[in-house]
Structure 1
């Protein structure tokens, strides 16, 4: 899998530094107090659940950042289907360093694996349709990089990363601009002035708004927000393949198949990141 633009060495390093600063502060005093400086040990990362593993590559970076002397052996890479009793990786080296890295590794991997598992499950529900599953910006502040990475590992597709890499004219933008046409026309003028070819997505709430977007044109995708499948089919007939379409709003595992069968190109689901359970993992000495 090719790394997305947000997954750079600098971004990963910045995330790890910030997370370690939050957790370690001026020192892991429990390990410094209770474990001899010269002690060397090893530990296994144990899977205690069923799902899709994610965060292994990140765990390697965390261990290395905490102490380059730590040696990680990966048993199961990102994207692996796992079950209770599997060993994801082993780590060996200075005991204090293993303990210092433990919680950050587990926090990241449990959360990422939960998101990857939910993504893989919802993706399986739309198999055989043209629809692809998208995430959203409904992420945990400071942890977006990891959450969107987990969606990719689970087989989903990333939507925009933030407010800077796509123009999305949602309901409030349209209302504040005075309607569909003025919102799109103002966007074209802005991008011309900016000299930056950002993709444009326009959210529509009604069939009338879909018609207006198609009439104005000059956009990259039409979002069909909170529409029932029958209404989506009507909207797709209006679009007639001229623009990619995205279904959004309140889509659940009970409704996602019916939405996908309308023929939309994308389905965005905020629950991938804001409501996923964790996958139970633990790091145990052996």
Structure 2
């Protein structure tokens, strides 16, 4: 990404102005204005600052071949982003590319993220508590790494209608609602999951994804050589019903600690920045969080 195409957004900064330069000292006030700085087929980075107690209530549509990085910069927690008035907080369409890192997308009227004939990378982020589910993939390619993705209502955490999806070192979870799966695919031939946790508090199986490849992961059900955890208990996690899937020391099943297998190219830290083993073949915690 070009170093001279970077804009800061901080709604809580008294110096913010959408008419300003978008610099660190004089940031913009909203994401939409930041996106407007990046023209069709151009590249640019938006640094989204943490504003405790504030939510960026915006609907962002990235299209027309743009390449955009949206990076959360929070001292205490990930900047919180919800939707404005559409069916998503973030939609990426028409050959656009988006890198999303260090943000929390929640409380959208419908889904958190929608991918349609585009490419999206999500790292160290939380897509949780959205009424229409977490992520919808309808063509294109999605990569999720070191992230929490939660479903809600009758919608999955990850819903793959078409396209390619890769999930690594992430936690996919569904709350106690009507029957659904945490991971749903029309055809999972091009969907792969590694080193992850997939759970659902509903009796319906947490995975409904024909032909999916799942390895070195921890699930409730028995599937291949993955760890079978049995029925999930919400107290394994810090606040399951609010989409906080940090593990609680001494409570989660010990099998999670060795369910994953680190390989070259995998992240060297977890969602909180705790160090992973970084040695090929070393057993590791499945999911986005590990206990140091």
TM-score normalised over the length of structure 2: 0.29
Structure in which a larger fraction of residues adopt helix: 1
| Higher RCO by CA contacts (8 Å cutoff, separation 6 or greater) | 1
Structure in which a larger fraction of residues adopt strand: 2
Which is greater in Rg? 1
